[in-house]
């Protein structure tokens, strides 16, 4: 823990807030988000499975601390590290644009524990067709919920029917893709080790359909694009396509370490005398292995691309380009939240 704490602080960490010559811009991340190192520090600070144990009252307190500081209200004895800790805990539970508290199992902090159970089941019971269906259904249902909770911007009013339809389609298509691939590969009589990789390939293909379906509204209405002062200048479907594509790629890369390494480790482990005399340990070991690997791969995967994406105005829709060109000081680059 001391190593992680040191990793997430800076030279001003121990200073009191009233000792600072200039106030902290709490609306921006603590570390430089234009670098991979800065993004990695940020996501290691907010994607922590143990944050799921925080009570609603504590999270509300963190929200109040952050909100009060924005308005110039703070405890002068509070240190810089204490303020940023409240901000990290706030960011772990609240949507960055809507400010809404995210459903606990839809938070990125829930990635490791939820997927430890789901992927552990997928990798353990990959031979039983009924178990394959069950675990892929749970996996796609959780993925659909995660995609919705970490979307870009607001869902919009009167969206329940569309959301339920998208959820059903995403889950059905995802499960169908996974089961079809399992059946095709199963008929090829491949070595056992190769068969263990099927869940990753199936999960990746399913995820590639799940994310766009759950975020389909963004393709229709676009996502908000802003200037450097965080002022919305319009909505773009082109930016939405980039946002969804990068999120899908990050999710696949996030899953790769545990879905590819686990089969190799388990295959070797299954040949030991210790395993053969305790085959019941397979499931718990799969879950533990997934939890450990994903605790690191989730923050790394989220850090590959900046959450605040950028796009040249010249690459946007012609009508949006025209609208921006009429501004008193038209920007050449605009920014958007790609989601997670």
Going from N- to C-terminal start, the domains of the chain cover: 2-93, 109-223+233-307
Q: Are 248 and 193 in contact (CB under 8 A)?
A: no
**pLDDT band at residue 174 using 50, 70 and 90 as cut-offs:** low
Enter the DSSP assignment of 337: E
pTM of the shown model: 0.77
> Does pLDDT of 4 surpass 60?
no
What integer is the mean pLDDT of 242-266?
82
Angle between helices 36-46 and 282-302 (to 10 degrees): 130
Instruction: pLDDT band for 157, please (50, 70, 90 cuts).
Output: very low
Contact criterion met (CB below 8 Å) for 125 and 132: yes
| Alpha-carbon gap, residue 262 to 107, rounded angstroms | 24
Specify the pLDDT at position 59: 94
Select the more confidently predicted residue: 7 or 136. Answer: 136
pLDDT of residue 62: 93
Q: Report the alpha-carbon distance of residue 242 to residue 159 in Å, rounded.
A: 23
Q: How far apart are CA 65 and CA 291, in angstroms?
A: 31
pLDDT of residue 8: 65
Q: How far apart are CA 177 and CA 270, in angstroms?
A: 29
Q: Which of 22-36, 158-172, 274-288, 310-324 has the highest mean pLDDT?
A: 310-324
What confidence score (pLDDT) does residue 88 get? Answer: 92
The pLDDT value recorded for residue 64 is 93
- pLDDT digits over 273-309, tens only? 888 888 778 778 888 888 888 888 888 988 888 888 8
Residue carrying the six token digits 């996974």: 178
Angle at 118 between CA 113 and CA 121, to 5 degrees: 125
Average pLDDT over residues 227-256: 87
pLDDT at residue 217 greater than cutoff 90: no
Q: Is the pLDDT of residue 158 over 50?
A: no
Of 7 and 168, which is predicted with more confidence? 168
What are the pLDDT digits (tens) for 186-210? 677 767 666 667 666 777 777 777 7
Average predicted confidence (pLDDT) for the chain: 81
Rounded to an integer, the average pLDDT of 128-132 is 78
Looking at residue 86, its pLDDT comes to: 92
Q: Distance (Å, rounded) from C-alpha 325 to C-alpha 319?
A: 10
Among all chains, which residue has been given the structure tokens 């959780």? 142
In angstroms, rounded to a whole number, what is the distance separating the alpha carbons of residues 185 and 183?
6
Q: Is 101 exposed, middle or buried (0-12, 13-18, 19+ CB in 10 A)?
A: middle
Q: For the beta carbon of residue 105, count every other beta carbon within 10 angstroms.
A: 15
pLDDT of residue 141: 80
């Amino acid at each position: 823990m001391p190593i992680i704490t040191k990793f997430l602080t800076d030279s001003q960490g121990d200073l009191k807030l009233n000792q600072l010559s200039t106030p902290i811009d709490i609306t921006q991340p603590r570390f430089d988000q234009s670098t991979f190192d800065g993004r990695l520090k940020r996501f290691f600070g907010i994607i922590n499975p143990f944050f799921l144990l925080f009570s609603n009252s504590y999270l509300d307190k963190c929200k109040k601390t952050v909100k009060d500081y924005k308005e110039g209200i703070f405890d002068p004895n509070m240190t810089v590290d204490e303020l940023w800790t409240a901000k990290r805990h706030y960011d772990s539970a609240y949507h960055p644009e809507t400010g809404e508290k995210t459903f606990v199992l839809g938070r990125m902090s829930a990635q490791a524990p939820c997927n430890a159970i789901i992927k552990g089941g997928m990798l353990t019971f990959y031979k039983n067709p009924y178990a394959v269906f069950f675990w892929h259904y749970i996996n796609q249902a959780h993925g659909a919920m995660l995609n919705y909770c970490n979307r870009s911007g607001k869902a919009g009013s009167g969206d329940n029917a569309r959301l339920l339809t998208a959820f059903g389609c995403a889950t059905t298509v995802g499960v169908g893709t996974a089961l079809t691939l399992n059946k095709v590969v199963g008929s090829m009589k491949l070595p056992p080790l190769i068969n263990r990789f099927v869940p990753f390939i199936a999960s990746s293909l399913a995820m590639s359909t799940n994310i766009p379906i759950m975020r389909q509204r963004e393709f229709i209405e676009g996502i908000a694009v802003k200037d450097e002062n965080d002022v919305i200048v319009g909505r773009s479907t082109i930016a939405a396509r980039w946002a969804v594509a990068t999120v899908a790629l990050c999710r696949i890369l996030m899953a790769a370490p545990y879905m590819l390494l686990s089969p190799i480790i388990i295959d070797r482990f299954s040949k030991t005398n210790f395993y053969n005399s305790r085959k019941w340990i397979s499931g718990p070991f799969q879950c533990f292995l997934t939890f450990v690997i994903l605790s690191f791969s989730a923050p790394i995967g989220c850090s590959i691309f900046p959450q605040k994406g950028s796009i040249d105005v010249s690459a946007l829709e012609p009508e949006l380009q025209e609208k921006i060109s009429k501004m008193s000081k038209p920007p050449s680059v605009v920014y958007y939240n790609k989601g997670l």
